Chain A
Amino acid sequence: MADARGLVKRRAGARLWLSAGWLTLLALAAVFAPLIAPHDPLAQDLFGARLPPFWEHGADAAFPLGTDSLGRDVLSRIIHGARVALGVALIAGTLTCLIGALLGLIAGYFRGWPDMVISRFVDIWMAFPPVLFAILLIAVLGTGLSSIIIAIVVIDWTRFARVIRAEAMSQGAMDYVASAQVAGRKRFSIMLAEILPNVLPTIVVLLTLEMGIAVIVEAILSFVNLSISTDQPTWGSMIAEGRLSIHQAWWVLVFPLITLFLTVLSFSQLGEGLKDHFDPVLR
């Protein structure tokens, strides 16, 4: 029993530290990109185009992950691309979480007419196919980072609202809520002080998942050229360009793809890891 718990904990620990480690590294790279990146991510050099990564024959040590078909440094572009990816993840994830979780809490705890209104909205919202919804929104709002963020928030708040509503509802039926009421705590304060801490682990897991989703959505929209202008390097646009030269220079496609994959994976593992590590009930 004790051994099994220890094992679970160690595995959860590895998961937490690996994902947190990768994301921290990425965050630092994003913040200090101009200082860290070995080259200007936009600097073209047609004579140094399609240099292979460092271990291959004909590589240039100054470009460890090689260069693309315009001679731009892949590593520097990935580092600068992290700014867009993490920025969107952070802002879109947090906003989606705040709005969705709050509405879910209110619907689940207060029930009655607030629940009626919010749940109706969620039902109607979810009847829209999300991809079409996103493209429609971008068409209306125009391309650009803020449009992407708005599209993610507008489409995905229902994910939080639905799950948190169900959790708040089951927590609301617990006697500790009745007990707080007997003690004279106000309803809104019960929601924030008693219910919220008990749905927080779920919120954290959803939030990190949402950040991963935001990274993917941004990459997809960059890939189809609905994100920001081509000046700013993004992983999605790198993947799109890499796809065109996959036979001549596979590294232009593969390195941003790996980075994207690791980042999304880390976000999804981070939430579970945080929950396992910091939740007093599981600890």
Chain B
Amino acid sequence: MSDTPIYDIENLRLSFPDMAHKPLLGPAPRVEILKGISLRIPRGDVVGIVGGSGSGKSTLGRAMVRLIEPDSGAIRFEGQDITHLGEDALRPLRRRFQMIFQDPMSSLNPRRTVGAIIAGPLKLQGFDRVSGRVDQALDHVGLPRVFRKRYPHELSGGQRQRVGIARAIATEPDFILADEIVSGLDVSSQAQVLNLLEQLVRELGLTLAFISHDLSVIRRLCRHTVVLHRGEVVEYSETQALFDAPQAAYTRELLDAIPLPDLDQVWV
């Protein structure tokens, strides 16, 4: 396999207009959310992204899957610069990076059946055998095929999140961004969804970026960890090393602030 990283992010800057301080006339001032982020994610890696609330984790993630366009810097996906690509140019690439969202109640269209939801990206990307692939995706996430006919509100929280995962893996992407995907679930569903994710990463050879504020989850799942603080990367290293000997002061703060439960008992 080539050693081009799947994501190569360089000095990424992104700002939003600050509507609260907009003058009566003229444009709103901009607040910079990402202040020069550089990051390389090698193929096959599982990278955790942690940081306090408002540190820019979701914004970084949304820029990576190009839901939003950065101001400057570069995002290269498998060597290709996608920083400022328009929707039409992005479309053929979209099959290859997918996203799983935090709240499946919001990320699954309530008026579409599970089957239609999973088939959506497949149809858009011009796949053949859509129905077979939907079944396959359901098999992968451990949902019975009869669930195709159900609506999201007829599922449990954990099942809904599995549908979100099935939709993301259906197009056989190379990369998946998971933004706080277990924080809305109860503990046992959390464990199941995380197990499933681990298994899929192994079986499908996925590269995964996993945004979370739960350090115990990151520690269990991720090989590398990025610590974000106020829109900057303060530390990026192997997870084990980061937990054993945090380098940045902010990382130490983060580790101290969050009590780590005895991990292994939670996951058996």
Contacts and interface: CB of A to CB of B under 8 A. Distances in A.
Interface of A: 174-176, 178-187, 194, 197-198, 200, 279-281
Given A178-B67, A280-B151, A281-B153, A183 B121 contact: yes
B212 to A, nearest CB: 17
A158 to B, nearest CB: 25
A184 B121 contact: yes
Contacts of B167: 179
A182 B109 contact: no
Contacts of A178: 62, 67, 99, 101, 107
B151 A197 contact: no
A181 B111 contact: no
Interface stretch (B87-95, B199-207, B213-221, B258-266): B87-95
Contact of A185 (B111, B124, B171): B124
Contact of B99 (A182, A194, A197, A279): A182
A179, A180, A181, A198: residue with the most chain B Cβ atoms closer than 10 Å:
A179
Contacts of B87: 184, 186-187
Nearest to B121: A183
A17 to B, nearest CB: 24
B103 A175 contact: yes
Interface of B: 62, 65, 67, 87, 90-91, 94-95, 97-99, 101-103, 106-112, 120-121, 124-125, 151, 153, 167, 171
A183 B124 CA distance: 7
Nearest to A175: B107
Contacts of A176: 106-110
B111 A179 contact: no
A24 to B, nearest CB: 27
A176 B91 CA distance: 17
Contacts of A185: 120, 124
A185 B111 CA distance: 17
5 contacts: A174-B106, A178-B99, A183-B171, A197-B112, A280-B151
Contact of B109 (A186, A198, A200): A198
Contact of A184 (B101, B111, B125, B151): B125
Nearest 6 CB-CB pairs, A to B? A175-B107, A183-B121, A184-B94, A176-B109, A175-B101, A184-B91
A283 to B, nearest CB: 9
Contacts of B108: 176
Given A180-B120, A183-B121, A281-B110, 13 more contacts: A174-B107, A175-B106, A176-B109, A178-B101, A179-B99, A182-B99, A183-B120, A183-B124, A183-B171, A194-B109, A197-B111, A279-B111, A280-B151
A280 B111 contact: yes
Given A175-B106, A176-B107, A281-B151, A182 B94 contact: yes
B87 to A, nearest CB: 7
Contacts of B112: 197
Contacts of A175: 101-103, 106-107
A187 B171 CA distance: 20
A181 B69 CA distance: 13
Nearest to A189: B124
Nearest to B98: A182
B115 to A, nearest CB: 13
B151 A179 contact: no
B67 A182 contact: yes
Contacts of B106: 174-176
B122 to A, nearest CB: 9
Contact of B107 (A179, A198, A200): A179
Contacts of A186: 87
A75 to B, nearest CB: 44
Contacts of A183: 94, 98, 120-121, 124-125, 171
A180 B106 CA distance: 12
Nearest to B164: A179
A198 B111 contact: yes
Nearest to A201: B111
B194 to A, nearest CB: 20
A197 B109 contact: yes
A212 B94 CA distance: 47
Contacts of B102: 175
A225 to B, nearest CB: 46
A170 to B, nearest CB: 11
A129 to B, nearest CB: 30
Nearest to A279: B111
A148 B261 CA distance: 71
Contacts of B62: 178
A281 B107 CA distance: 15
Contact of B110 (A179, A180, A184, A198): A198
A173 to B, nearest CB: 9
A179 to B, nearest CB: 5
Contacts of A179: 99, 101, 107, 167
